[in-house]
Chains A and B, each alone.
Chain A
Amino acid sequence: MNKLFITHEDLKTFVEALKKTCDEFIGPSRQHLNDIAFGDVKNDGEILLNYDGNTILSPRTFLLPQTETLFEIKGSIGGKVSSIEDKKSRIFYGVRPCDTLALSLMRRFFLEGIVDRPYQDKMENATFITLACAKPCSERSFCREIGSGPVAKKGFDIQLVAINRGYLVESGSKKGGAILRKYKKLFIVSTPSDIKESKRILKDFAKEAKPINYKRLAGIMRDDLVKESVWDDIGLRCVICSGCITVCPTCSCFSVTDRMNGTSGVRVRYCDGCPYAGFTRMAGGAMPKPDHKDHIRRFFEHKLNVDVERYGVPSCVGCGRCIETCPGNISIRKFIDDAMASVKK
């Protein structure tokens, strides 16, 4: 379809109008100094309509929060359980293309096959407005090489591409199309020179990027061809901070626990995952993979091998957040190079 165009001023009007249509308008806002994080800018804080870099955490933190109460428990025997529902309508604005791809992968995980009701509730009431990237967000991100950026191909309702005089606008879903129609007075058809400008920006962005042959990488991992020394090094570096699985926009693992005060309380689910020994430890202390290096291997295998088989693409979207938060200086990007280069004989 033809791309639409919106001016800087009209985008403000558009956002203000959208804020009135939802319970929470989740957008990037500046926190302390240069920290940018998603927040509810309808009720608190200033939105950044355009911004450099990426948010510290992805929108996952609203769809699968670090800790989330699932239901209330009252009384023990014959007690009552009542679910805690989150059906707030949310519009997410300024989601980066890497996180947009992550959302479409997470949607498949949580909503196809066994449906995760708390996730579904939130997704059904969510609208995603993606903001394409004009320049790399950090030295650690590699969206261009893994193919998740600088523009999203799918997974958004509306996508904005910033150019000098405003934004190019496209819809990616029925919901997005309906919104654009509703506010059609704010949009005009883009000119050929707008399109040309946006193409140049995106080309500059992706200039030196060499795509990662992730199918070959998955094959190398599937055939267990990565040198043991690569895994050994990773095992020695990981200090089990759990940062990688908490910041990753596609990590979906959780555990549940009951927070009881006497016979009443709540069931909580919380982020859980690969780095912990306890994640797969069995009764009596038996460990299917006793070496710590294999726990991080599990993380990498899932992202770069298993999900390539499952979804056709890796579930590492190249956002670089895990690299930026790792106190062991482990880099999944460096691992990819090491794995490709160090194929054992």
Chain B
Amino acid sequence: MKKVLTTCPYCGVGCNFYLDVRDERIVGVIPAKSNPVSKGYLCVKGWHAHEPVQHPDRLKKPLLKENGRFKEVSWDTALDYVAKRLKGIKDKYGPDSLAVCASARCTNEENYLMMKFARAVLGTNNVDHCARTCHAATVSGLNQSFGSGASTNSYDELPYMDCILIIGSNPTEAHPIVGWRVRTAIDNGAKVIVCDPRRILPAESAELYIQQYPGTDIALINAMINFILKENLHDKEFIEKRTEGFDELRQAVSDYTPESAAEITGVEPEAIKKAARIYASSKKACIMYSLGMTEHTVGTNNIISMANLAMVTGHVGKEFSGLYPMRGQNNVQGACDMGALPNVFSGYQSVTDGEVRKKFESAWGVKLPEAAGLTLTDMMFKAIEGKLKCFYIIGEDQVRTDPDTHMIERALKSLEFLVVHEIFLTETAKLADVVLPGASYAEKEGTFTCAERRFQRVRRAIEPISGKTDGDIIIEVSKRLGYEMESEPSKICDEMASLSPIYSGVSFERIEESGLQWPVPAKDHPGTPVVHLGQFRRGLGKFIPVTHKPPAEVPDREYPFILSTGRLLFHYNTGTMTTRVSNLLREFPRNFVEINPDDAKAIGIRSNAKVKVVTRRGELVVSAQVTDKVKRRVIWMPFHYSNEPTNVLTNSAFDPVCRTGEYKACAAKIEKI
């Protein structure tokens, strides 16, 4: 019997709990009161996080596809085969015909190995991960405005805010233990402003609820800035001392009066003015956002517009302020940090910078590729074009998570060779030539980094069910390709720290107690709860004018609805884990579409009626949920159900800078069945 303290494997909040292990079975979780992130609180997914780990559906042996059917093979057979095929493709078509998809579900140490594997072993910068489909816009947007693409402040400041502007984020359902802090802020008297196309639970307790149309956020925020300037509510001293480019911003927002924005956003001018006034005149105010802002063709600009708003009012670069990008996966922050991105090594060091490359070349003892690699989005297009031949995917289910499923299936089927690490046989794994059974969070040692930039420990509660962790697998494939890698997680962390200035002070020993928030530039540095104090990472904060641009697809006569998608409290992404937990599945067992009562009446449907949702890319039959949570002409669906996959409908149009797809707005129609 033992209790193993570890970090929750679901969203990016980073709660801690003990796994209660008795006779090699994990029977429950015990919340960790001592943890600075979760303080003894958990959400329903966390309370059930032990259940999927030892589920009988777990993959236990490698699977090799022969004549279209999988057969179980030994580890040696599978690994030898994978190494042989990777080498064959590399020799025949060159290193850039291969790509690696790292995993936001895996540890930092594993992600570091994966990006090293792509760069040092395969010889390509074609490495990316699912941040591409969520917060890549945050990285690209905040980097331009502030010089660092992560959360500016820390969770524990939230309960003391005077104003929290929540836009495109549903903390109660998607990040519940940050939601607890929002709840506490409200109980402490904070004014919460919720801007969301869907009337989410926090809206019920908010000072103000704004229901903009999906994809009109820049118009809304620019109008707020316009009003703040007009009313002289801006922070002149902050703008003068800490920023540049203000005149260009003033010019750009001059066209966006609350009245003119009302037409685009569908929001009353008075509400926009009220929101602007509350946010600007509050002493301690912050913005919390999530994929409602990033998953648009204007994702990067959405983020920049919020950075502009924060700088105009001086609500950034100090305690009790800032931007809180709520990260969706347990280690999506860490996978970015570790350089599982096509353009940077760990610590956001550019692959095109000769000095940086030289440093990694000498540490790793190999010549490294010079040009930035392909993003996940572009890997799919290149696969269809026939330029990309092989894809090595770790713990990702692109067939269900990426927009426009049919296109993704076509891309993966075009490959010569597909390897997938998985813990359950997902739709993506089914398309693979080789499936290598990975390990869940409960079977490995390492670290995750949560949305407040905090490194935290992940600890092994049971031995890997398949015999190997994902890190072990990478190391063994690498060895077969003639390259030895360090296998001890704490030493991998040390290697990473030695090569990455912003994580120099990170080590397992130092994060043992309560974790560490990066930047940690030295061994004796205490970590950084608030970034940009006194000065932005880039020096002066930069105002970058951005303008409204409608989504790639807008409603028309044929497709009169705007379809938006999102997450439910009870499920996590493609549901491979949460649909295997009885309590969670029972709450929401099937897919559905939310539709406004007026629209439902016009179509002639009632709640629970079967309807067909159709877009230009696909169609899906689901039940209707008639609700005033969404306004007229807007419909909403979750995306968790593998057998009723919402992403057959969504649009793969993407942001030109960060290449994130537009999950949050596309044109759709509903047909009565």
Tell me the A residues contacting B by CB distance below 8 Å: 24, 31-35, 37, 39-40, 43-44, 56-57, 61, 65-69, 236-237, 239-243, 246, 255, 257, 259-261, 265, 270, 272, 276-278, 281, 285, 324-329
On whether A240 and B569 interact (CB within 8 A), knowing A56-B33, A255-B582, A272-B583, the answer reads yes
Given known contacts A67-B51, A272-B583, A329 and B204 CB-to-CB distance under 8 angstroms: no
Q: Which residues of A contact B27 (CB under 8 A)?
A: 65-68
Q: Are A237 and B183 touching (Cβ within 8 A)?
A: yes
- CB of B413 within 8 A of chain A? no
Please indicate the chain A residues that have their CB under 8 angstroms from the CB of B183 in the complex: 237, 327-329
CA distance A283 to B611 in the complex (A): 20
Contact A37 B18 (CB under 8 A): yes
A259:B47 contact, CB within 8 angstroms: no
Which residue of chain B has its CB nearest to the CB of A240?
B44
**At the interface, yes or no: B187 with Cβ under 8 Å from chain A?**
yes
Within residues 47 to 99 of chain B, which ones have a CB less than 8 A from any CB in chain A?
Answer: 47-48, 50-51, 55-57
Q: Once bound together, how far apart are the Cα atoms of A285 and B609, in whole Å? A: 12
- Contact call B18/A31, Cβ cutoff below 8 A: yes
Chain A residues with CB under 8 Å of B47's CB are 241-243, 246
- Pairwise interchain contact A56-B172, C-beta atoms closer than 8 A: no
Complex contact A242–B31 (CB within 8 A):
no
Chain B, residue nearest A65 (CB): B27
A257 engages B587 (CB within 8 Å): no
How distant is the Cα of A269 from the Cα of B240 in the complex, in angstroms? 63
CB nearest neighbor in A for B587 = A278
Majority secondary structure, B binding face: mixed
The residue that A40 contacts in the complex, of B1, B173, B205, with Cβ under 8 A, is: B1
List 11 additional A-B contacts (Cβ < 8 Å) besides A32-B32, A56-B40, A276-B587. A31-B3, A32-B5, A37-B3, A37-B18, A44-B2, A56-B33, A66-B28, A68-B27, A239-B201, A243-B42, A277-B587
Chain B residues positioned under 8 Å from A31 (CB to CB):
3, 5, 18, 32, 34
Residues of chain A contacted by B179 (CB below 8 angstroms): 239, 327
> Are the CB atoms of B56 and A278 closer together than 8 Å?
no
- In the complex, are the beta carbons of B18 and A327 less than 8 A apart? no
Q: How many Å lie between the Cα of A115 and that of B27 in the bound state? A: 23
- Chain A residues positioned under 8 Å from B176 (CB to CB): 239, 241, 327
- The residue in chain A whose Cβ has the minimal distance to the Cβ of B26 is A67
Say yes or no: B30 contacts A278, CB within 8 Å. Answer: no
State in angstroms the CA–CA spacing of A329 and B41 once bound together: 10
B5 and A43: CB pair below 8 A?
no
Q: Given that A243-B47, A257-B582 are known contacts, is A44 also in contact with B56, CB under 8 Å in the complex?
A: no
CB within 8 Å for A239 and B172 given contacts A56-B30, A67-B28: yes
On whether A236 and B201 interact (CB within 8 A), knowing A31-B5, A56-B40, the answer reads yes
CB < 8 Å: which of B44, B56, B582 contacts A261? B56
Across-interface contacts of B55 in A (CB, < 8 A): 259
Q: In the bound complex, do residue A328 and residue B205 qualify as a contact, i.e. CB atoms below 8 Å apart?
A: no
Q: Would you call B177 an interface residue if the criterion is a C-beta within 8 Å of the partner chain's C-beta atoms? A: yes
Contact in complex: A265, B34 (CB < 8 Å): no
Question: How far is B44's CA from A243's CA once the two chains are assembled, in angstroms?
Answer: 7
Complex: A44 Cα to B179 Cα, angstroms: 36
Is residue B231 within 8 Å, beta carbon to beta carbon, of the partner chain? no
Whether B184 and A259, one on each chain, are in contact in the complex, defined by CB atoms closer than 8 angstroms, is no
Q: Does chain A have a CB within 8 A of B513?
A: yes
Distance between B304 CB and nearest chain A CB, rounded to angstroms: 32
Closest chain-A Cβ to B589's Cβ sits at a distance in Å of 8
Q: Which residue of B lies closest to A36 (CB)?
A: B33
State whether the Cβ of B254 lies closer than 8 Å to any Cβ in chain A. no
CB distance from A324 to the nearest CB of B (A): 6
B364 within 8 A of A: no
Q: Is the CB of A34 within 8 A of B56?
A: no
Q: Which residues of A contact B56 (CB under 8 A)?
A: 259-261, 265
Q: Is the CB of B582 within 8 A of A33?
A: no
* Minimum distance in angstroms from A275 CB to a CB of chain B: 8
Q: How far is the CA of A314 from the CA of B587 in the complex (A)?
A: 29
> Which B residues touch A277, using CB under 8 A?
587
Whole-angstrom CA separation of A272 from B47 in the bound complex: 12
B292 to chain A, nearest CB (A): 19
- Whether A270 contacts B31 by the Cβ 8 Å rule is no
Cβ–Cβ contact B586 & A276, under 8 A: yes
| Cα of A69 to Cα of B584 in the assembled complex, Å | 19
Rounded to whole angstroms, the CA-CA distance of A35 and B35 in the bound complex is 9
- Beyond A35-B34, A241-B42, A324-B40, is A44–B583 a contact (Cβ under 8 Å)? no
Q: Point out which of B2, B30, B183 has the most chain A C-beta atoms below 10 A from its C-beta.
A: B30
Tell me, rounded to whole Å, the shortest Cβ–Cβ distance linking B123 to chain A.
41
Residues of B within 8 A of A61 (CB): 20, 28, 30
Give the chain A neighbours of B51 by CB distance below 8 A: 67, 270
Q: Which A residues are in CB contact (< 8 Å) with B57?
A: 261
- A237 proximity list for chain B (CB < 8 A): 183
Residue B508 CB within 8 A of the other chain: no
Q: A239-B201, A278-B586 are in contact. Are A24 and B1 (CB under 8 A)?
A: yes
Closest Cβ of chain B to A263, distance in Å, is: 11
B352 within 8 A of A: no
17 contacts between A and B (CB under 8 A): A31-B18, A31-B32, A31-B34, A32-B18, A32-B35, A34-B33, A35-B34, A37-B18, A44-B2, A56-B30, A66-B28, A66-B50, A67-B27, A239-B43, A240-B570, A241-B46, A326-B41
**In contact, B41 and A243 (Cβ under 8 angstroms):** yes
B29 interfacial contact with A, CB 8 Å:
yes
B180 interface residue per 8 A CB criterion: yes
Most A-side CB within 10 Å, residue of B25, B31, B43: B31
Q: Are A56 and B28 in contact (CB under 8 A)?
A: no
When distances are taken between beta carbons in the complex, the residues of chain B under 8 Å from A260 are 56
Min C-beta distance of A338 to chain B, whole Å: 14
Chain B minimum-CB-distance residue to A327? B180
Chain B 5-46 residues near chain A, CB threshold 8 A: 5, 18, 20, 22, 25, 27-35, 40-44, 46
* In the complex, chain A residues whose CB is within 8 Å of the CB of B514: 33
Contact B3 A241 (CB under 8 A): no
Cβ contacts B154-176/A at 8 Å (1 or 0 each)? 00000000000000000011001
Hey, which chain B residues are within 8 Å of A65, CB to CB?
A: 20, 22, 27-28
A88 to B123, CA, bound (A): 57
Which residues of A are found within 8 Å of B177, using beta-carbon distances?
327
- Does B608 lie within 8 Å of A35, measured CB to CB? no
Closest 5 CB pairs of A and B: A66-B28, A327-B180, A261-B56, A33-B34, A278-B586
B201 touches A35 (CB 8 A): no
Distance in Å: Cβ of A276 to nearest Cβ of chain B: 6
Distance in Å from the Cβ of A257 to the closest Cβ of chain B?
5
Smallest CB-CB separation from A246: which chain B residue?
B47
Residues of B within 8 A of A39 (CB): 1-3
The CA of A93 and the CA of B58, in the complex, are separated in Å by: 38
State how many angstroms separate the Cβ of B354 from the closest Cβ of chain A: 45
Measured CA separation A246–B51 after assembly (Å): 14
Known: A239-B172, A261-B56, A270-B582. A56 touches B31 (CB 8 A): yes
B299 to chain A, nearest CB (A): 28
- Shortest CB-to-CB span from A142 to chain B, Å, is 18
Give the distance to chain B from A177, nearest Cβ to Cβ, in Å: 29
Task: Tell me, in angstroms, the Cα distance from A246 to B30 when the chains sit together.
Answer: 10
Query: How far apart are the CA atoms of A68 and B582 in the complex, in Å?
Result: 14
Contact yes or no, B28 A325, CB < 8 A: no
A257 to B581, CA, bound (A): 10
Q: Which residues of B contact A246 (CB under 8 A)?
A: 28, 47
Chain B residue nearest to A57 (CB atoms) is: B30
**Is B180 within 8 A of A328, CB to CB?**
yes
Which residues of B are found within 8 Å of A56, using beta-carbon distances? 30-31, 33, 40
Kindly state the separation between the CA atoms of A241 and B42 in the bound complex, as whole angstroms: 7
In the complex, the answer to whether A325 meets B569 with C-beta atoms within 8 Å is no
A302–B43 CA distance with the chains assembled, in angstroms: 23
Closest residue of B by beta carbon distance from A43: B1
Interchain CB contact under 8 A, A35 and B582: no
B42: chain A residues at CB < 8 Å are: 241, 243, 325, 327
The chain B residue with its CB closest to the CB of A281 is: B586
Q: How far is the CB of B484 from chain A (nearest CB, A)?
A: 35
B459 to chain A, nearest CB (A): 10
